[in-house]
C-alpha cells in the first residue's frame, strides 16, 4: 500500500511539472520566430518555356506543349535579386539569355491571371540549351 502511494505521488508530480512547464514556456517564448528559423514555402512548380522577350526586370515566355495545360500559355516572369539564373550549374546574368532560348522555370506562390499571366516569385531559371 505504501509503495502504491509513492508511485501515485511521483506520477502526480510529473504531470503537474509538465503542465506548469507548458504554461510558463507558452508565455515566455517569443510570439514570432526570427526569419532564420521560419521555413520557406517549399511548394514549388516547374515548367518549360521558350523566351519570347527580355526586359530589364522581367522575361516574357511561352510555355511548351509538353507542360501541363496550365503552363502552356504566355507568362511574364519577374526577375528579382533572389532569382537564380543558371546553365549546367554555372551562374548566369540576365544579359546572357537570348530570345528563343529554352528554359526551365521554377516558381512558388500564385500566378496572376492576366494576359500574359504573371509569376512574381520566380526562384530559378535554368537554361536548357546545349550551348551557351
Q: What is the CATH number of domain 44-127?
A: 2.40.50.140
Segment 1-17 mean pLDDT: 82
Query: What value does the CA radius of gyration of the chain take, rounded to a whole number of Å?
Result: 26
Question: Could you tell me if 128 and 102 are in contact, meaning their C-beta atoms sit under 8 angstroms apart?
Answer: yes
pLDDT range class, residue 7, cuts 50, 70, 90: confident
Segment 38-47 mean pLDDT: 74
Phi, psi of 85 (to 5 degrees): -110, 125
Q: Are strands 44-54 and 58-63 parallel, antiparallel or unpaired?
A: antiparallel
What is the rounded CA–CA span in Å between residue 39 and residue 71? 27
More reliable by pLDDT, 62 or 131: 62
pLDDT range class, residue 41, cuts 50, 70, 90: low
Amino acid at each position: 500500500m505504501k509503495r502504491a502511494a509513492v508511485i501515485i505521488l511521483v506520477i502526480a508530480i510529473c504531470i503537474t511539472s509538465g503542465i506548469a512547464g507548458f504554461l510558463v514556456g507558452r508565455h515566455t517564448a517569443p510570439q514570432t520566430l526570427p526569419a532564420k528559423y521560419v521555413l520557406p514555402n517549399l511548394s514549388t512548380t516547374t515548367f518549360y518555356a521558350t523566351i519570347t522577350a527580355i526586359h530589364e526586370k522581367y522575361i516574357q515566355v511561352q510555355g511548351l506543349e509538353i507542360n501541363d495545360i496550365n503552363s502552356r500559355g504566355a507568362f511574364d516572369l519577374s526577375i528579382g535579386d533572389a532569382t537564380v539564373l543558371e546553365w549546367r550549374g554555372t551562374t548566369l546574368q540576365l544579359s546572357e539569355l537570348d530570345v528563343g532560348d529554352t528554359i526551365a522555370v521554377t516558381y512558388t506562390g500564385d500566378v496572376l491571371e492576366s494576359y500574359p499571366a504573371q509569376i512574381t516569385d520566380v526562384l530559378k531559371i535554368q537554361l536548357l540549351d546545349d550551348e551557351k
